[in-house]
Amino acid sequence: MSNTDAPYCPPPDPNPHPPRFVVPAGAADCHAHVFGPASRYPYQDNRSYTPPDAPLGQLRAMHKTLGIERLVVVAASVHGTNNAPVLDAIATDRKNLRGIATVGADISDKQLAQLRDGGIRGIRVNLVDKGGNPFPSLDALSRISERIRDLDFHIELLVHVESFPELRALAKSVCVPLSVGHIGYTKVAAGGLAHPGYKDFLALLRDGYFWVKLTGPYRISAQERVPYSDVTAMARAAIAAAPDRVVWGSDWPHVMQYKPMPNDGDLLDMLAEWAPEPAQRRLILVDNPARLYGFA
Per-residue model confidence (pLDDT) at position 130: 63
Is 2 domain-assigned?
A: no
Asked if 151 and 159 count as a contact pair (C-beta separation under 8 A), the reply is: no
Is 224 domain-assigned?
A: yes
84: domain CATH number is 3.20.20.140
Distance CA 224, CA 230 (A): 11
Per the structure, the count of domains in the chain is 1
Per-residue model confidence (pLDDT) at position 127: 80
Q: Is 269 a catalytic residue?
A: no
Q: Which one is catalytic: 13, 29, 251, 264?
A: 251
Is 98 domain-assigned?
A: yes
Is 18 domain-assigned?
A: no
Is 249 domain-assigned?
A: yes
Per-residue model confidence (pLDDT) at position 134: 79
Per-residue model confidence (pLDDT) at position 2: 47
∠ CA 69-70-75, rounded to 5°: 140
Which residues constitute the domain of residue 62?
A: 28-293
3-class secondary structure for the chain? CCCCCCCECCCCCCCCCCCCCCCCCCCEEEEECCECCCCCCCCCCCCCCECCCECHHHHHHHHHHHCCCEEEEECCHHHCCCCHHHHHHHCCCCCCEEEEECCCCCCCHHHHHHHHHCCEEEEEEECCCCCCCCCCCHHHHHHHHHHHHHHCCEEEEECCHHHCCCHHHHHHHCCCCEEECHHHCCCHHHCHHHCHHHHHHHHHHHCCCEEEEECCHHHHCCCCCCCCHHHHHHHHHHHHHCCCCEEECCCECCCCCCCCCCCHHHHHHHHHHHCCCHHHHHHHHHHHHHHHHCCC
99 phi/psi in degrees, rounded to 5: -145, 160
Is 34 domain-assigned?
A: yes
Is 14 domain-assigned?
A: no
49 phi/psi in degrees, rounded to 5: -155, 165
Is 4 domain-assigned?
A: no
Per-residue model confidence (pLDDT) at position 1: 40
Q: What is the mean pLDDT of each run of 10 residues along the chain (296 residues)?
A: 75 98 98 96 94 98 98 96 97 98 95 98 86 77 94 95 92 95 97 97 97 98 97 98 98 96 98 98 98 96
